[in-house]
Amino acid sequence: MKDKLILFDTAKLAKEKGFDWKVLKAYDGVPICSHSESIFKPLNYNSTTSGNYHSAPTQSLLQKWLREEHNIHIGIDYGELCKKYMLYIHFVNNEIESDFECIYKTYEEALELGLQEALKSIHAE
Can you give the pLDDT at residue 82?
80
Residue 9 and residue 65 in contact, taking contact as beta carbons nearer than 8 Å: no
Can you give the pLDDT at residue 37?
53
Residue 5 and residue 111 in contact, taking contact as beta carbons nearer than 8 Å: no
Residue 20: burial class (beta carbons within 10 Å; 0-12, 13-18, 19+): middle
Question: What average pLDDT does this structure show over 4-10?
Answer: 93
Q: Does position 36 have pLDDT exceeding 60, yes or no?
A: no
Instruction: For residue 1, tell me if it sits in a domain.
Output: no
Q: Does position 6 have pLDDT exceeding 90, yes or no?
A: yes
CB atoms within 10 A of CB 56: 24
Report the alpha-carbon distance of residue 96 to residue 80 in Å, rounded. Answer: 25
Q: Does position 29 have pLDDT exceeding 60, yes or no?
A: yes
Instruction: For residue 19, tell me if it sits in a domain.
Output: yes
Report the alpha-carbon distance of residue 70 to residue 119 in Å, rounded. Answer: 10
- Percent of the chain at pLDDT > 90 equals 37
Domain of 21, in residue numbers: 8-120
Q: Which residue has the higher pLDDT, 93 or 28?
A: 28
At residue 30 the predicted structure's pLDDT band, cuts being 50, 70 and 90, is low
Residue 44 and residue 87 in contact, taking contact as beta carbons nearer than 8 Å: no
Give me the number of domains the chain comprises: 1
